[in-house]
Amino acid sequence: MARPDKVAAVAEIVDQLNDSAGAVLTEYRGLTVKQLQDLRRAFGENANYAVVKNTLTKIAAKEAGVEGFDDLLTGPTAIAFISGDVVEAAKGLRDFAKANPALVIKGGYIDGAAMEAAEIAKLADLESREVLLGKMAGAMLASLSNAVYLLNAPLQQTARLAAALQEKAAEDPSILQGGAGEPAAPAEDTATEAPEAAAAADDAPASEEQPEATESTEA
């Protein structure tokens, strides 16, 4: 019958495997306690680094449905249970291993798939989630900026045309009336006025004739 402490330890590993985005197995033989503390601090919130017993971890992996751990669980083993950005966690392990060759990355289980040490190294070379999101946001902003420019371009052209017309109208108000200056009134035909005047004279009443002068009487 299993001891209660072992049952509790297996259950804890199962919970961490189920709650994590991934788990990377390492061999920490030769690392000092201070170096292990430094590694935990380097992970920050991205991972929880814990020393485990191989036999209990095999049982926990089987219960959690995680495959590929049996061959990796040899020698002193510690697992980085990744709860944050898997790329950042992989970078932290890679950089620490470069500075401290005693840390050996054995392999892991990321997003439901078993990964070898070389694959985790490639994962560390990828850009982090924050960088990718930043690039996506930059691309989206650039696309929106281009769209706004295209939408505003006709309005800007119309505004420039209106300003030009307003400036021209200040110099020549007739621009807004469709021509240069008021159109001159057509000259009246004097030739047609003459007959009308003559007709008016004919219609006027004739003046009374003066009586002829009487001949002077002979003296």
Residue by residue, pLDDT tens for the chain (219 residues) are 468 889 999 999 999 999 999 999 999 999 999 999 999 988 888 899 999 999 999 999 999 999 889 899 999 999 999 998 889 889 999 999 999 999 999 999 988 889 999 999 898 888 645 544 554 555 555 555 555 554 555 555 556 656 666 676 677 766 555 544 444 455 444 444 444 444 444 544 444 444 444 444 333
∠ CA(115), CA(22), CA(29), 5° rounding?
A: 75
pLDDT at 215: 43
pLDDT at 173: 65
Contact 109, 66 (CB under 8 A): yes
d(CA 103, CA 93): 9
pLDDT at 42: 86
pLDDT at 68: 86
Q: What is the CA radius of gyration of the chain?
A: 52
Domain boundaries in the chain?
9-126, 131-171
CA 186 to chain centre: 66
Q: Which CATH architecture has domain 9-126?
A: 2-Layer Sandwich (3.30)
pLDDT at 107: 94
pLDDT at 144: 56
Q: In this structure, how many other beta carbons lie within 10 angstroms of the beta carbon of residue 3?
A: 8
69: Cβ contacts below 8 Å, ≥ 6 apart: 25, 57, 58, 61, 109
- Tokens describing residue 179: 């021509």
pLDDT at 59: 95
**DSSP class of residue 186?**
P
pLDDT at 132: 42
- Tokens describing residue 143: 């696309």
